[in-house]
Amino acid sequence: MSIRDDMLAIGQKAREASRALSAASGTAKADALNALADLLESETEAIRQANAEDLKAAEARGLDKARLQRLTISDKVLGSMIQGCREVAAMSDPVGEIESMVKRPNGMLVGKMRVPLGVIAMIYESRPNATIDAGILCLKAGNAVILRGGSEAFHSNKCLAGLMHRALESAGLPREAVQTPPTTDREAVAELLSLEEYIDVVIPRGGELIRAVTEQARMPVLKHYKGVCHTFVDETADLAKALPVIENAKMQYPSGCNALECLLVHRSVAGEFLPGVAAQLGPKGVSFKACPESLPLLGGYAEGAAPEDWGYEFLDLVMAVRVVADMDEAMEHIARYGSNHTEAILTESQSRAMRFIREVDASLVVANATTRFNDGAQLGLGAEIGISTSKLHAYGPMGVKELTSTKFVLLGDWQIRE
């Protein structure tokens, strides 16, 4: 069979499975998710072996540090995957919920019922944990999913998809509800993106990947674009509390899309704050791309910022730094260079915090906390399939509810239209 034939067969099977899954009971879906959690625990060695095969090949290909970090299934990552399965299993099932019901003058009841999106194609790189996150969320929301991960994670994703198939079958659900293309050929992506009669929405993750998918896709695209995240340190900020927040935002997981990429500091506190930032982060490996005003305050850990450093997603222990005159200048910088992902303010002023939250446009706007909290699990969603940086039909982390839509329902008493 050709690649086109293979993708067509996958699309057709996914559509058929989506119909069965949309009618599945909440109990069956929860059973499958709990079974998957058990399998992730019992098949740890198989998962590690598959991941080690991918890591060995990736190192031989010269993948950078950030991508290798994303590719690795550490004990912590595996634990989060297991926890995500159990948390999503325990959530209420949104499918079939009636969100509103209004009685019309003629006695009809008109409402909205939450329904699955149908078939979702997820296209992403590295991050094999995204395979589990996407699979469990789509399953809970009653959607079939086609998971097309990057070639660098092929063996890891194949192993994880196999475990999902076993979990689905143990709960009496179709294994075709989760599918992975059997090839790493890029032609497979192009063919998937032409199957608008079988695939309802595609979710790409990664800047360059999003552009390519958006240009080719014949179905709607939910964009998980790059994370150029800023934190503004206001003149009223408690600088002693601000420093560990900045360190966490940059260093806790520097290759994450919610990691801090640009620090904006109010001019009145820059002279006091930035030398401390350099002393705390510099010896730990962080380097700075600094504006002319911040450069002498950051010592030997900094170099002058180039124009392209503003709005750049470093995904590494590199951070741009700029001194601003006030909050208005900070918000202007964010409006120009941000990616609508995550923006934060550190301040002791309630009014400034609320103005920043109200006026800054991002999928998550934070006051007095790290940008690293823009994550489905951290925000109470159990897991996420991605962070939408576009506003239709979701904005921010996409959990179970964001993977459903609504349809109108009408309950009548034999009325006719006059």
Q: What residues contact residue 79 under an 8 Å CB cut-off, 6+ apart?
A: none
Q: What angle do CA 44, 132, 137 make, to 5 degrees?
A: 145
Mean per-residue pLDDT of the chain? 95
**DSSP code of residue 284:** G
Sheet holding 229-233, edge to edge: 302-304, 287-290, 318-324, 260-266, 229-233, 342-346, 364-367
Give the pLDDT score at 207: 67
Cα–Cα distance for residue pair 385/205, rounded to 1 Å? 9
Domain edges within the chain: 3-222+398-411, 229-373
End-to-end CA distance of the chain: 57
User: Please, are residues 234 and 327 in contact by the beta-carbon 8 Å criterion?
Assistant: yes
CATH architecture assignment, domain 3-222+398-411: 3-Layer(aba) Sandwich (3.40)
Cα–Cα distance for residue pair 143/195, rounded to 1 Å? 16
Q: What angle do CA 300, 304, 307 make, to 5 degrees?
A: 155
Q: Where does residue 369 rank: exposed (0-12), middle (13-18), buried (19+ CB within 10 A)?
A: middle
Q: Which two tokens stand for residue 230?
A: 């800023």
Dihedral sign for Cα atoms in the order 206, 209, 210, 213: negative
Sheet holding 109-116, edge to edge: 98-103, 109-116, 404-411
User: Please, are residues 22 and 96 in contact by the beta-carbon 8 Å criterion?
Assistant: no
How far is the CA of 328 from the CAs of 228, 234, 333, 343, 352, in angstroms? 19, 11, 9, 14, 11
Query: Could you check whether the bond before residue 333 is cis, i.e. omega within 30 degrees of 0?
Result: no
Q: Which two tokens stand for residue 5?
A: 């034939």
Give the pLDDT score at 84: 93
Helix (H) or strand (E) holding 298: none
Helix (H) or strand (E) holding 204: strand 201-204
Residue 26: Cβ within 10 Å count: 16
Nearest one of 203, 239, 67, 60 to 131, comparing CA atoms: 203
Nearest one of 388, 394, 387 to 372, comparing CA atoms: 387
Give the pLDDT score at 63: 87
Give the pLDDT score at 264: 98
pLDDT digits (tens, 9 = 90+) for 27-74: 999 999 999 999 999 999 999 999 999 999 999 999 888 788 889 999
Q: Which two tokens stand for residue 94?
A: 């949104």
CATH architecture assignment, domain 229-373: 3-Layer(aba) Sandwich (3.40)
| Residues of the chain below pLDDT 50 | none
